[in-house]
Structure 1
């Protein structure tokens, strides 16, 4: 919200300087984002009147102008603007003046004729980005007056960064109410009187969607002057508020929106076919908007329609086919209340964001429509003339917002704010904010004003008291709180430790959106039902993720497109899955790795990443649970992973995650290389671990024996390891797999595993007989359970 301080001070003029006023707004929760003068710096520009215009004798595009500045002899100025004419009042930069950009004006000769100044356009004064010619000032502009002083161009323009709950402050009227309450001064609102109709022209209105639009007010105005121009004072107020002047009707509707907070719209009456119908869009309907874009309407979009087709996107933007144009003489002026629920998110769905939708999404005063249309009618009649008709109001009372009263207790105020506020001060502050107050036995019954959609609980009223009283005046006190500290379980999975583990192994943590593209989500988890957002930021971010891989893959693709070859990233966050019991939010940790195993260097050749590199990262992550041996990597299939390099991770038979290479088709779709590896773990099953326990270190020597066994290729090393540990229980301290061989000199469909067994006892030195007996037992068990035998 951008506004002119001078305009605000017409409504309320507190006895404080600009700097203090800005501080007051910020301290009241209306954060000031920027302050800038109404125009960039310039000086030496005066108002002059062109007395005579003659062609330059030596340049066809230049003119010799005689300009009266009201100070002695007129000045001779050379001007190249096509629109300069005798009688015009114009801004003149005299010799010695300084224009924006530090442009100094000097006496000059143009094609042999002297020029003693410069007739300026709005763009040359920094008041517009471009201009078609010199600035034609109003006929009442005082000749000889300093232009900057006359237009008050040092007026501070203040930009507020309002929170979404303060839609009531998106107007001069709303801000003035706040400033008046803060400074305890009176308001001077603009006088608005009902306009008497001079004809009986009406347009029938049907509210076919009263839940979305419970109030619609309109008026026919006939015979406006299509050649009228918006006065300078109104155009300046629009400019200082960040809006561009277009035409009198459009400018007035924008002005009233800024002044009172009610968006309005004007239709060309003769472009409407029949009456007005406020309804939801029908399947297959389209609308060409004022910006020239043609959109296909969604069925849940509220539209303003005539008896044939939609003519406006309700609360967002008008249609081009019913817009007020240069030939328009009869208009239908609209002032409606659209509920926030009906407008919220609709503009973004069509790639739009307008001043109107910005206000309706946050809530417009449902009792403001008549006052706003009367104010707009006054201004249109003053500027463009015309004959007003009667005011037509269509209302569905059952669907209008109801102002629920709230109970407020003095002790509750003191409890929340930590200070005592006298009852008379409470009543004064809330009264100045437009609330109805009734004393009751417990305190007060307060009815919020219709514009305040944010006042739902007593703490909201207390927040208003704190704002207006002044946060800086609330005493600082020490908070007393009794609590029993709870230490985290020593056996629980430590997320900070997990982060450090991955960072130490070369990964970087990323944070991605929890809402993702439905197409991307379907690639990762086809067939999985997702939660669609009711109010998405965009169509590409419209469903909640069910896997962390979506954000990780998009991040990898983004970096890959910027010549990043080696990527190691991880994320810790929630996944959102629809279940029979509703929405399930489960925390997880996921990671992605691609590119060489180690950064490029001279001492080691380029080694590509493989499945077991990422598996070692997962095992390092799970080791702090103290129960790594309870986890199993079981070959399986996942739609997003390579069929031959994919494993389901289980703990004691319970699935806890997935690991594998990205499916080649998905890698091609994302323009990623083939060796992209990912894993994802659920955090809930990892919360219970095993505490480390002391084990006596043996004083006796260890003995190592190596075996080479032959097993079928389908038998996993995990099965071999389990069999050996079970057979050699009590003596086996370490089992080392130091070679795997397949190929010639061994039977087909078998593999050779070379194993090192380290045996040790806690109470004696092992003899050869004991070691041989243990090895014999191991070989017998391997043969009996797995069909393994010693390699010749």
Structure 2
């Protein structure tokens, strides 16, 4: 919301300086984003009339002007503005003035004396337009100080409003907040009814129920639509970010900015009564004020008249924009002014659906005071009669009172204020603040009965009133106190590894964490063959973000590709997040099932470039080692069972198993998938259920053995298809309680080992807590382990 500082002060007089005013606005929740000062230091700049214009003898683009500045004699000014002409009223900086960083002096331009400078709006600091002289109305009086004439100095203040403060989309709404914060009062506003001078009316019919419960209109005949917008109104509009267009349009814009009530003016001679409001029909079209013709569905509201083949022509898109065919022009002589109340739910999203954004829709989407339409009609009528003449008819109002929100009294307890805010506010201050905010306040024994004005949709419960008191009284005046009473300390569970430790563990192994959207493109999931049972969003941000992700890897690999495209040769990424799968509950309804997962992907070199070892590419075992390190932190050992996954390379993929249960998979991405994704490097990835990975047994203290350990190394020849994990499991089961650890320290294939076989060398580390092991103890364990491995896996001791 942008507005003129002087305009605001005309509603709420205050001694606060500009800096104090803007600081106060921010402190009470109306955050000031920008302040643009204008028109300061214009001493010596006056209104002037160009009496004569002639060509400069030495320059084609310069003119010699004889200017009347109200001094009784003409001044000669050399001017290069393209719009300089006889009869033009424009600002003149006299000799001695300081404008646009220039000290104005008597000078000669190409040999011709010049005694001042005719100014553009940019040179005065009132606008960015520097295309020519600022043209003033013909009735301006020469010699009038320009600051007085234009209402300067002033400032354009822009504030950022939260969606609940729709009442501050009008100057009057902001004025009540300023009055409460600065200890002043809002001046009375004349919205008294104007007597009808004509009996011509257009009847109004409402057919949209609660979506359009109030509509007011008035006919004004015999106006002069070509009348020029007065300078004071044009300047207020301009400083509020609105470009003046024509008197009729400017009046409706002016009332909207002052009250917060959007309005529209129709050319009465283009209408056929009655006027109505209804829902649009599927496929119905309307040509809008901007010249676009749009097709509507049945979710829109339209204003209609009785023209058209079916007796119901759409003449405006309610709450958004007027229609082209009924617009007002300079030829308009009779006008129909309208102001209505539309429910926010009926307007929300409609302008965006058509690719529009209008001041009216911005306000109606957030809520407009339902009591304002009649006031807006009276104020607009008064302005129209003063500036363009005319004969007004009576105000016609159609209303559905059962659908209009009615403010209800709210109980405000004195003790509750102190309990919520932690400080006591004097009763007199409570009543002053609430009344300054235009609330009705009735005191009783325990507090007050407070009724908020109809424009304050955000005031519904006692805590809302307390928030208003805190906001105006000052957040900085609320004391900082520590909470009292016992504090419950939440102790993290020792039976699972916390997420922060998981992140630190992976970061320590040179991974970077990514955070991707939980909603993705359905086509991406289809390329991963992961689109089955995807949860489709009812209201997606865009078509590319239409479904919830069923896996983490599609988004993670997409991030990998972005890094590779930016010349990152070695990439190691992980993500910890939720996936969503549509889960049929059995009663015909599907509800999304949410699961937390951990995924990682690597490509490029196994290590950063260094001189100590030769470079090599990362492989399956590098990624597996990183996953094993996480499992070790949870006190678990993972098993890897060869598996087939549609997303993984055949023969380079395994199920990740913990305690006999598959918790995910690990492997190289399938070459076909890499080609589909246009990924030209080998990438390795895993994705596992986080809850199953991070659970761990309750840590218990154990005795460290004081006796030495014994190591026995064995080498077996076994079929290449037998995994090491199966051999290690057999060794642990056969060795019994004396086995502390089993290690694989060599794998060999080649000369001396038959084709299809491999040699695995492992070490068995044995130890007892109560005694030193004897040779017989060790031999018994080794014999049992060898026998079990030979029997279960067809292995033999390598000679």
User: TM-score interval w.r.t. the shorter chain?
Assistant: 0.7 to 0.9
State how 1:643-722 maps to structure 2 within 5 Å: 648-653=655-660, 656-661=663-668, 672-685=679-692, 688-690=695-697, 691=699, 693-697=701-705, 699-711=707-719, 713=721, 715-722=722-729
Which residue of the partner structure matches residue 342 of structure 2? 338
Partner of 1:263: 262
Question: Does residue 486 of structure 2 align to residue 479 of structure 1?
Answer: no
Post-superposition shift, 1:290? 4.6
Change (3 A) 1:602 1:633: same
**RMSD of aligned residue pairs (Cα, Å):** 3.7
Tell me: CA distance 1:154–1:632, structure 2 relative to 1, closer, same or farther (3 Å). farther
Q: Given the alignment, which residue of 718, 727, 730 partners 2:737? A: 730
Q: State the shift of 1:167 in Å.
A: 1.4
Aligned pair 1:410/2:414, yes or no?
A: yes
SS class of match (1:77): strand
How far the C-alpha of 1:66 sits from its partner, in A, is 0.8
Q: Would you say 1:756 and 2:762 are equivalent positions? A: yes
Contact 2:741 2:766 in 1 (8 A): no
What pairs up with 1:342-741 in 2 under 5 angstroms?
342-439=346-443, 443-516=447-520, 520=524, 525-530=530-535, 532=537, 534=539, 540=544, 545=549, 547-549=551-553, 552-553=556-557, 555-575=559-579, 579=583, 580=585, 582=591, 586-601=595-610, 606-627=615-636, 629=637, 635-637=643-645, 648-653=655-660, 656-661=663-668, 672-685=679-692, 688-690=695-697, 691=699, 693-697=701-705, 699-711=707-719, 713=721, 715-740=722-747
* Structure 1 residues 772 and 526: CA distance shift in structure 2, 3 A: same
Cα distance in 2 for partners of 1:666, 1:127 equals 61
1:118-133 equivalences in 2 (<5 Å): 118-130=117-129, 132-133=131-132
Q: In structure 1, what is the Cα distance between the partners aligned to 2:356 and 2:690?
A: 40
State the alpha-carbon separation in 2 of the partners of residues 153 and 318 from structure 1.
34
- How many matched pairs? 786
Give the distance between the partners of 1:390 and 1:644, measured in 2 at CA: 87
Unaligned runs of 5+ in 1: none
2:522 and 2:403 map into 1 onto residues whose CA distance is 35
Looking at structure 2, the residues matched to 655 and 124 of structure 1 have their Cα atoms a distance apart, in angstroms, of 75
After superposition, the C-alpha distances for 1:161-218 in whole angstroms (9 at most, x for unaligned) are: 2222211122111111112223343321431232444555555655443233322333
Q: TM-score, normalised by structure 1?
A: 0.87
After superposition, give the CA deviation of every residue in 1:558-598 in whole Å (9 maximum; x if it has no partner): 54444444443444445555544855555444444444333
Residue pair 1:572, 1:589 contacting (<8 A) in 2 also: yes
Gap runs ≥5 in structure 2: none
Deviation at 1:681, TM superposition (A): 4.3
Paired with 1:84 and 1:392, the residues of 2 have a C-alpha distance of 48
Partner of 1:154: 153
Alpha carbons of 1:112 and 1:443: their partners in 2 closer, same or farther (altered >3 Å)? closer
Secondary structure, counterpart of 2:737 in structure 1? coil
Distance in 2 of aligned mates of 1:84 and 1:592: 70
Residues 1:38 and 2:38 are matched in the alignment: yes
Contact 1:335 1:372 survives alignment (8 Å): yes
Instruction: State the 1:57 CA deviation.
Output: 3.7
Q: Deviations over 1:637-663 (max 9, x none)?
A: 36x666765555454355645545556
**What corresponds to 2:66 in structure 1?**
66
Instruction: Give distance in 1, aligned partners of 2:673 and 2:272.
Output: 53
TM-score normalised according to structure 2 size: 0.86
| 3-state DSSP of counterpart to 2:733 | helix
Query: How far does residue 676 in structure 1 lie from its aligned partner after superposition?
Result: 4.2
1:465 and 1:723, CA in 2 relative to 1: closer, same or farther beyond 3 A?
A: same
Change (3 A) 1:270 1:238: same
Structure 2 CA distance, aligned partners of 1:469 and 1:212?
37
Secondary structure, in 3 states, of the residue corresponding to 2:9?
A: helix
**Distance in 1 between the 2:65 and 2:694 partners?**
86
Is the deviation greater in 516-525 or in 348-357? 516-525
Tell me, yes or no, if structure 1 residue 10 matches structure 2 residue 17: no
Contact persistence 2:753–2:759 (CA under 8 A): no
